[in-house]
Structure 1
């Protein structure tokens, strides 16, 4: 008997286990006035292919949970029989991405008359909308629209938490609210709005605690470490990275341990060469032990061997190993996926910084210009502006009269005016 690979894949994408899918379907059925009779065995029958065309009510519930037609989930009606009910129109699914070319973030108000009962399907939907915001961030970087949409998602999660059907659902909604709030904080941090980011991180940490979510706690401490580095508070950067290392998820998953060690390496690189290199070694060792894939939140998608190599370039540059920093930047750029445009631009700016600090003015200016080209069509996030500003200061110190330096300076001032 052939299994239903499409359904299995859809469940994996959303991090759903069999009992969680059963809960989500039952919640939808109950909201529609029907009995919630779906159990683990029912879901197993769907996955194994034993049930190829679920009952109409179950199909509607599945379509509502996943936001697509039953056929797209691998189900097939009997020969010469059509589905008794039309699939739910995916246009009815609220989304956070609207406007010209999908680059403007908007929030659609909740449906009037929405049922008061809240369950797993609400958690799934909110997380799916957060995933869409993270995909926008990968391309465009932090900006005000992204922050507003994330905070709207957090507010909705907290409102639904008050109506949660069970304590478990309420905890999961606190966790979702923490993730949304941390995303808003990240957007402010990337835009170089430190005070705003700091305030949001405090709220996100509280929500992560209420949700008993150690992954969300690690995310917040990771962002605290980045913010401290941005502000030049190097001791706080190390302390925040250590707090990230102390979260329980680092003991369960070496992937998260690696990220925490990498962040510590960046913090140490400001004044402790050996500690920085030691933390890099720990990060590489932990990442080598991590499973290549798993049901992790969408915010973690940026991290892996490529990002660790990019962070290695940052550390090497700060401790004065400029040739090693350049080599690491090249390796990172060959591995960072194309959709992470902002991360590629950051790595390119880091490459330019390593090159100019070795006196290679022409090549450094070419690399720095490539960073602008990668962000073509989008404003330059504040964090990237800061890195390019560091490059320009080194450039005019090294070769103030060079023609290529003057030409790059003219472009720098032009690009700086983007809004």
Structure 2
């Protein structure tokens, strides 16, 4: 993997910060405000993948006008205001190439249509009859129609109807590489598509699990590293490209991890770590070590999990994120639990709670949007389960399931599966079967080998209790499940 070649170029006109939008956020962190945006979207039947980075881009003025889905959500959140009141430019001033001034970035909104996935069942004829103007409004970030057409293509995961963009400029770069042509240098369009790809993968994983996504995410990752080899036109773009490629490697590694492909996951995480160290990116390094610790715990290498978590904490300390330090302390606690070191585990859990209690901050990484009280409880439940303290594990798992935002379907299924297993091993078979049935209800939407493996273990524990009607119902339904490929 070659380093980026950076050449000088004429500077682009810097975006004007959106101070009006920043005032509306108030004292909430970007992650907290993004969660409020997602809640507001659900209230009106919209589906947007808003996160802390999106909020930051709006406030920095990089998004001059949101797409229509975000517009509806923002106007619902702030009734009586117009887009101009929210600090955005009129849509007419950012639509189309003709609206650009000299040196002005054309980036206007989000490149992906953020609707409920059921909308993707439209027929091809219906899609082809949509007006060009309407289509351009939905995908108004990129500089030419060919790239936008690539962004609009969707793929389907097996067992769940899920739309995902095929990464626009990254797809074009992959086509060039496959044809033996040199990949063009990355610009802001390619880097933006890469960053959005990472967000989309995380969103789809939260809702549907990893099994149907992993193989489809490998090609974009190859393309991202082809772009690194080709270099970037500006140093700032090169830095974003390194970070984006590393984050994509971690996301693909997680898909492999959650699908039970531990060797593949280890390779992807190591690739992300190497990318982080080549570019001196402490945040990416902490993220890579964090996931390596999680993988080592799941793969039965608890001492490696402890060492990786401690390495992650050393990298993360200068970043100033207490929430990140909390999560990394939980990763360390999981390793100590695997070593049957109750004292070490409890000490790490106390640190995790202490860091978490300090609250969110502006320095919290974007990828940590999943980490809230529910995840804290869920990871603590796993520690007590590993130590064999089933009642304590069940208490935390129940709290995790109760606290989880239903939007994160995979995590809800995961915590419920953890609860079912803890209850079963703690001698409460009927309650365990009830929790297991709730997991089965979610498996139409979620594809995760890890959850299937947990349920299989629970069924073995419950087999001696088959005479219970609830247990019998659970075992019969579980036995009728199609076996994961």
Measured against the shorter chain, the TM-score band is: 0.7 to 0.9
Equivalent in 256, 260, 264 of residue 192 of structure 1 = 260
Alignment deviations for residues 13-50 of structure 1 (CA, whole Å, 9 cap, x no partner): 2533987849x9xxxxxxxxxxxxxxxxxxxxx99969
1:13 maps onto 2:82 in alignment:
no
For normalisation by structure 2, the TM-score amounts to 0.68
In the other structure, the counterpart of 1:274 is: 343
| Offset at residue 240 of structure 1 (A) | 1.5
In the other structure, the counterpart of 1:394 is: 461
| Offset at residue 377 of structure 1 (A) | 4.2
Pairwise mapping of residues 4-403 of structure 1 onto structure 2 (< 5 A)? 4-5=20-21, 13=54, 15-16=56-57, 21=62, 56-58=99-101, 64-67=107-110, 88-91=136-139, 92=148, 94=151, 97-99=154-156, 102-103=161-162, 105=164, 107=166, 109-110=171-172, 116=184, 118-143=186-211, 145-161=212-228, 162-249=230-317, 251-270=319-338, 271-291=340-360, 296-297=365-366, 299-379=367-447, 381-396=448-463, 399=465, 402=468
* Distance across 2 between alignment mates of 1:198 and 1:3: 43
* Distance across 1 between alignment mates of 2:21 and 2:467: 63
* Distance across 1 between alignment mates of 2:428 and 2:221: 47
In the other structure, the counterpart of 2:41 is: none
Cα pair 1:126 1:176 within 8 Å, conserved? yes
| Offset at residue 364 of structure 1 (A) | 0.8
* Distance across 1 between alignment mates of 2:24 and 2:108: 14
**Helix, strand or coil at the partner of 1:216:** helix
Aligned Cα root-mean-square deviation (Å): 3.8
**Helix, strand or coil at the partner of 2:360:** coil
* Distance across 2 between alignment mates of 1:116 and 1:324: 55
* Distance across 1 between alignment mates of 2:88 and 2:469: 72
Alignment deviations for residues 87-126 of structure 1 (CA, whole Å, 9 cap, x no partner): 9443526157434875265636328999956333432332
| Offset at residue 415 of structure 1 (A) | 1.8
| Offset at residue 164 of structure 1 (A) | 0.6
Question: For the structure 1 residues 63 and 333, does the alpha-carbon distance in structure 2 shift closer, same or farther, using more than 3 Å as the test?
Answer: farther
* Distance across 2 between alignment mates of 1:212 and 1:342: 33
Higher relative contact order (CA 8 A, sep 6+): 2
Alignment deviations for residues 53-107 of structure 1 (CA, whole Å, 9 cap, x no partner): 8693159966534247xxxxxxxxxxxxxxxx99944352615743487526563
* Distance across 2 between alignment mates of 1:50 and 1:236: 49
For normalisation by structure 1, the TM-score amounts to 0.77
Question: For the structure 1 residues 378 and 205, does the alpha-carbon distance in structure 2 shift closer, same or farther, using more than 3 Å as the test?
Answer: same
* Distance across 2 between alignment mates of 1:392 and 1:170: 50
* Distance across 1 between alignment mates of 2:270 and 2:444: 34
Cα pair 2:293 2:306 within 8 Å, conserved? yes
Pairs aligned (count): 378
Which segment drifts farther, 118-127 or 261-270? 118-127
Identify unmatched segments of 5+ residues in structure 2.
Answer: 1-17, 26-49, 65-83, 112-132, 140-147, 177-181
Question: For the structure 1 residues 61 and 240, does the alpha-carbon distance in structure 2 shift closer, same or farther, using more than 3 Å as the test?
Answer: same
Identify unmatched segments of 5+ residues in structure 1.
Answer: 25-45, 69-84
Question: For the structure 1 residues 95 and 14, does the alpha-carbon distance in structure 2 shift closer, same or farther, using more than 3 Å as the test?
Answer: farther
